[in-house]
Structures are given as structure tokens and as C-alpha cells.
Homo-oligomer: A and B are copies of this chain.
């Protein structure tokens, strides 16, 4: 098996630039009436033109028949084995927050809730309290220190927040814990319990924090309680730049993808909120980095909404921006998705994801006339695991030495 440790030893450095353009949820299934996929209906002449001169095929994000969440799907794209590095839910949800996680951090998702005088939860979302009001409550709780553990309380959206427990004395806080969130109204906040003995110190400090919050929010309304769930430790993951010898920049609009990129040590471009601003950021930073992860969210959102036409349009919008990438003449351009999100299914799916690798070293199949699932079956790449995309990209950039003499 080709591991990251193996690839790492072969890495060499040069000036070749690599652009990884990820259309989230790229790849669909045929529309039940049109009998065509989103990519087959969309007009994307530039992607089609590139496909005829590129290595085309598919990648499996995790394995045959496995539908991935966004976390593991992106780890795969970044060249990590997603079965080896698991990102816990509490951590994944906290990644969107602009926060520098450290090794040893323990994160959880939180809700501000409304509790009755006896502690029974009457509203798990505190009436979907407004984001600015929620941020004010976060400030009340943020910065507490209990049992030598520093606690960060970070606003997310409406009633949702993230909480991070950071032990200051080298103590380890394990995430093997039960939730405090009872998931049902009418019930009280549950005591957090360790599921292994080593997690007892973590449970203790978290329960103290819940009591501390109860006390601090006693007079607050409607948010007078915190519900915590999805405890997850920061993962110990090798830095992308170290593994692949690349100065890497993430150019994304959505917080979670920025967070995932930060997690693996990428820099994150600022002020990206539209497709145009993303491609401007690419141009502006092109000399400063070697690797660019450009993340397009609109394709996935449309797929999740079951909006076939909007997904078609989202792909067409990207195609219109392709000249912005091509004019920079990257040595390697990879266009793919993190997983498929067929509009007909309104969800992520297990279908292999279209993958196109464009470089001067491409062994292309000229019969591939379009950037579509059906045409890519004829592509020269076949079907590869997601984690080999980075290996391919590095080789096409001539950034990987040969193995053995």
C-alpha cells in the first residue's frame, strides 16, 4: 500500500504550481426524466476542451459503495488516509470558527437552551436566539479556567456555539465521553460520563463548566443553559506542507473548508465570498504558494437541495471562470469533487467522483470529448483512490522522485 510516509520520502521541490479545483458534490446520477446527469446537461466548453487533453477518470473518496462526509472526503483529497485520521463531529463543527486549534484541545458542539427552574430543558435552541445575542453570551462564558483547563466559547450561528477545553499543564483530556445534551425537551442536562477510566478528568472539568455556565447564565433569558455533545480531540495529523513539500493556500468561501485546511496546516486566503473573489485571490497569491486548494460550494448546496438546474448552473459558472485559472498556466490542474451529490438523491452519495488531471505529462484519451461521468469512463485514469490524487498531482508536477534505482 502506498502510504503518506512512503510518498513523503520521494518528494522533491521545484517551482511547479498545482491547482486543485474542488467542486463540492461534483458528480451526479441521471435525472429521472432527462436521463442525463447535471454534468451532461451543463454547458462547459472549457472543461470539455481540457478533458480531451487530460487524464480523466474517477476517484473513490473512501472505498467502493461508501458515502463520505465532508471531513473524510477532504482529507482524502489532501492525500491523507481518511480511515486513519478520523475527525470527530465536535471538532469538525468547530473548524468553521476562526480559531487556532492546538494539539491536546478537546472540542464539543454546544447549543444555548432554555431550562425551567428545576433544570428541565424547555427549548433546546433557546428560541433560535439571534447570532449577535448568542455571541454576547459566548463572551460571558469565554476564557473561564477550571481545574487548570482554559475554556474557549466560540459563537457559530444562532443558538449554536463551539467550546474548546485546553489543558494548560500537559494533562490529557480524552474525548471518550457521553453527551450532556439529552436531545429531548422535558429532560434535564445529563451528567457527562467517561466511557473509559482515562476520560474521568475530562468529564469532571466539563461537568464543572456546565454548572459554571448555569450559574453565570442564571439571569439570562431565554438562553440560560448549555447543552454539549460530540466531544472530540484535536487530531494529531502531519502538516500537509511538510508531507508534500508544498506551500499551500486554501481559497474557500465556507468556514468549514477553511477550518479543514487550517487543520492540515494550509494558509487560508482572506476575503473570499464569491467565485470572482476566489479567482482573484488565486491570481493575487499565485507567486507566493505552490499549491492552491480552490473550493466551490455551490455545486453541493444545489445537489443537497435537489435542485438539478441550480447544480447545472453552478458548474456552468465555474466553467466561465476557467480562463482565470488557465491564464496563470499552472503546471498541474486537477478538477474534481470531494464526493458526488446527485440532485436526484438530495444527499452525498457513494458514486465515484469525476477526476481530471491536466498537465503537459498527461497521457490523454482523445476520444473523451466532454467533462461528464459517461465520457470519463473512457478516460485514461480509470478509478483511483482519493488519496492517490496528491501523488498524481506531485508526479505530474515532477515533484516526486522515482522509487528505487
Contacts and interface: CB of A to CB of B under 8 A. Distances in A.
Interface residues of A, number: 72
Nearest to A405: B69
A70 interface: yes
A117 interface: no
A contact patch SS: loop
Interface in A348-400: 348-352, 360-367, 373-374, 377-380, 382-385, 388, 391-395, 400
A67 interface: yes
A30 interface: yes
Interface string A25-63: 001111010010100000000000000000000100011
Interface in A180-196: none
23 contacts: A2-B66, A64-B391, A65-B392, A65-B395, A67-B395, A67-B401, A68-B403, A69-B404, A69-B405, A70-B405, A71-B405, A72-B404, A82-B403, A82-B404, A86-B404, A340-B363, A342-B363, A344-B361, A349-B395, A350-B395, A352-B382, A377-B380, A377-B382
Nearest to A230: B405
Contacts of A30: 362-364
Contacts of A388: 63-65
Contacts of A349: 361, 395
